[in-house]
Amino acid sequence: MNTVICLIGVTALALLCVKYALQHKTIPLVKSVTRESIKDNLKLDFTISPEDMKILDAVSTCEGSYRDSDHIDF
């Protein structure tokens, strides 16, 4: 994932995620705590190329503390 971020030149993963969702015609629900973060979330003056979108589309999981809700027994 860091490779794609570097190639696109985005400074924050969150911006990449927001733009990715928008390019897939999905409205992202963005959470920001500080005024600066809110301003940063509006800096979407870049486009993810079709080639990079394919790379992102192929990502099956994200690293982090979440659990995939599709695979949780409720």
pTM for this entry: 0.69
Instruction: Identify the band that residue 36 occupies on the pLDDT scale cut at 50, 70 and 90.
Output: confident
pLDDT at 65 over 90: no
Residues sharing a CB contact under 8 Å with residue 21, sequence separation 6 or more, in sequence order:
27, 28
pLDDT, tens digit, for every residue of 12-21? 778 888 899 9
pLDDT, tens digit, for every residue of 42-62? 888 889 999 989 988 887 766
